[in-house]
Amino acid sequence: MAFEEVYLTAIQARFRAVREPAEQALGWLNEEQFHQTLAPDTNSIALLIQHMTNNMTSRWTDFLTTDGEKPDRNRDAEFVDQGHDKETLLKLWNDGWQLVESTLASLTPDDLERTVLIRGEPHLVVDAIERQLAHYAYHTGQLIFLMKILLGPDFKPLTIPLPHQRH
């Protein structure tokens, strides 16, 4: 298998590894916890989902053919709570990730050498993919940390439990 094929398979697995733990923990939250902030000028889980999913829609729609920053994206509005209920937020989350995953699955080894635009700046496809992986991992870490605080003792380890959490 050529390196490009290995990369495309591996990067899809990395994106799933970012998505799945957060998705598991999101199911443990109640409606109120999605909108709760821990301090002034901090993001709630709802805001992070709004931001991530709007970013996903902008970046991954027509990934190879249009600028990743779509003209109709209103980034500022992503950080104002739109009042979506839990079901709507989880649907946004799922739809955003489905777009990412279907776009990644559609890429060919030859696509990796292409150039795409993000905010008018050229990026190799590989760089654009890695940029988004880092962005989503960053925000997913924030989500999981917020959920751990909000859920307290009801939060269950998503990876290998700490020694004091093992039975």
Q: Is the pLDDT of residue 89 over 70?
A: yes
- Give residue 102's pLDDT: 98
Residue range 108-112: mean pLDDT, rounded: 97
- Give residue 148's pLDDT: 94
Residue type, 166: R
Q: What angle do CA 69, 73, 75 make, to 5 degrees?
A: 95
**In this predicted model, what pLDDT tens digit does every residue of 9-30 receive, in sequence order?**
999 999 999 999 999 999 999 9
Question: CA-CA distance, 141 to 132, in Å (whole number)?
Answer: 14
Classified as helix, coil or strand, 103 is helix
- Give residue 167's pLDDT: 63
- Give residue 125's pLDDT: 98
Give the predicted TM-score (pTM) of the model.
0.93
CB 82 within 8 A of CB 50: yes
Give the distance, in angstroms, between the CA of residue 165 and the centroid of all CA atoms in the same chain: 28
